[in-house]
Amino acid sequence: MSVAATTVTIIAERMLQSQITRMLDETGATGYTVVEGSGKGHHLTRTHERPSIVRDFDIVRIEFVMLDGDHAREIAQQIADDFFVDYSGIIYITRAEVLRADRF
């Protein structure tokens, strides 16, 4: 049996990893997955320093899944507001279904 859920994916500079995961801990996210990668794009450039330059970056991809879609969106918005005004990154939301929803 599966239950509707919301996934949130955060693509950020790797230097922000501990700040973002600390915030996820504080907001009550029940878990998250962190994968390291690389990336490129003006959306990964610090806006104050170099507004439109395409650069390569060390990035982290942080992902979490929640049954409560509204809560997931609130957390995603808070991350966008707290981190991605000064630093760049992207956050996207998708619909999913989870199995073993009793774990959440």
x-or-dash string of contact with a copy of itself, 14-43, rule CB under 8 A:
-------x---x---xxxxxxxxxxxxxxx
Q: Which of 19, 71, 73, 82 binds a copy of itself (CB under 8 A)?
A: 73
Does residue 84 bind a copy of itself (CB under 8 A)? yes
> Shortest approach of a copy of itself to residue 64 CB, angstroms?
8
Q: How far apart are CA 79 and CA 20, in angstroms?
A: 7
Q: CB-based contacts of 20: which residues, under 8 Å, 6+ apart?
A: 10, 12, 60, 62, 79, 83
